[in-house]
Amino acid sequence: MTTMNRPVVPTESGAVQGIVEDGVAAFRGIPYAASPVGDQRFAAPQRHPQWDGTRDASRSGPSVPQSASRLEAVMGARTPDWNEDGCLNLNVWTPQLDEVRKNERLSPVLLWFHGGGFTSGSGGWDWYDGRDLAAAGDIVVVTANYRLGPLGYLYLPELGVENLGVQDQIAALEWIERNIASFGGDPARITVGGQSAGAFSSFYLAASPVTGPRIQRVIMQSSPFGLPPQDPDVAAEHARQFVDILGLTGGLDLLEALRRVPAEKMLSAYGQLAGELARPGNVSPPMYPVLGAPGIPAAWQQALAAGRLDGNQVLTGTTKDEMTAFLAFNPAGVAPSAELIETETELVFRDGTLAVADHQAAAGYATYVYQFDYAPADDPAHLGATHCAELPFFFTTIDAYPGSPMLGEPTAAARDLAGTFSHAAASFVAGGRPDADGWEPYRSGDSESIRHFG
């Protein structure tokens, strides 16, 4: 059923009504799991209950509880929009929905996860609006929230609390498999992708023996391969420190007590823990996916060697100056050297990215590698092509970043670059090959086969 610019689509929980924008139908804020509140806080995601009537899906749902990102100085500030109730939601953009329905033609699907150090971010923010990306390749684009910080990665395995954010991502993938055909998407042609923490997540989803067989292609933007999954002993110690900060040792049943703590207090305690653990140049958050817990059976090196990514087509890359985002605003006021930026960028991001690409290309699987070199002309912080710099270009959402230091004042050339980069990514999702002049498959160990943008 479709009314003027307000299409209605059925889902397993009820009908949703979206809105058409420039020929692309957008459905925002769709719950893919029950609200993680009350007894569902610190529990594995459950299917969302049925609703009556038709749910308005013209606006994004709330983000997951979080404090301000440590990269606001790079990307730009966000107005807090979180609410624990209803935060497990996703957004779908599908081009030419009516034509898809008439022809019964299903389009490839991209499930994309935001970054933010497993501590901040939202798939519903306008930074990640999928309209232009969907139109660029005639694909269905889905962005999803997942629990962050202590609500997503507190590690108390004896209470069944482990890698809940990872379990949310798996639940989003499963929702797509069950529902995306109603939106014109093909559940048999799924690409998972993401940037930074989202790229880390995408690798492990594709390499998992449980979720991997459902995934055809992978996009990994600035994946922090230099950051191994968190060691269980370290995660347990950080959980103990967090519980101590909350003052919950002894007394009430711990799980019940944690469920009673206001989200604001959770975030405050997490911020205190992060401050206590902070070290110069350390990019690891206090809590993030734990090795051996659900969704992370092995570190990426072991998963790769075991052939867990075999058969997947891969598009991956980094920005030229990743680590300026973490080092340029040193509280001591000391500007990092170019050598330090390059060394840390290689250790945290580039070396692992190329190791994955080398393995896949050597094994004969289609692999495409980029380096994003674009830097703003006006760059007083000397960020260069910093971490997150390619995001406005990937989604063609340059105007969603007013005053962003990493972007600067957008030029006509920058907008042209966004069209090129976004089309290349969308065409990879659509057919396994990025459509951009001069972008050839990566040859293992050959830096000349890396496509530079900027």
Q: Which residues does the annotation mark as catalytic?
A: 196, 322, 387
In single-letter form, the type of residue at position 11 comes to T
DSSP category for residue 378: -
- What Rg value do the Cα atoms of the chain yield, rounded? 21
Q: What angle do CA 16, 111, 308 make, to 5 degrees?
A: 145
Q: What does the block give as tokens for 140?
A: 């269905």
Alpha-carbon gap, residue 352 to 349, rounded angstroms: 6
Alpha-carbon gap, residue 321 to 297, rounded angstroms: 31
Residue with tokens 């594709």: 206
Q: What does the block give as tokens for 317?
A: 């890359």
Alpha-carbon gap, residue 293 to 166, rounded angstroms: 9
Residue with tokens 């692309």: 24
Q: What angle do CA 271, 276, 279 make, to 5 degrees?
A: 105
CB-based contact 194:202 (threshold 8 Å): yes
CB-based contact 46:77 (threshold 8 Å): no
Alpha-carbon gap, residue 163 to 262, rounded angstroms: 21
**H runs (alpha helix) in 408-454:** 412-431
Residue 418 Cα distances to 18, 122, 170, 199, 355, angstroms: 26, 21, 30, 20, 27
Alpha-carbon gap, residue 359 to 167, rounded angstroms: 27
Closest CA to 229 of 312, 289, 308: 289
Q: Are strands 367-372 and 451-453 parallel, antiparallel or unpaired?
A: parallel
Can you spell out the DSSP letters for 302-369? Answer: HHHHTTTTTT-EEEEEEETTTTHHHHTT-TT-PPPPHHHHHHHHIIIIIHHHHHHHHHHHHTT--EEE
Q: What does the block give as tokens for 205?
A: 């989803």
CB-based contact 297:350 (threshold 8 Å): no
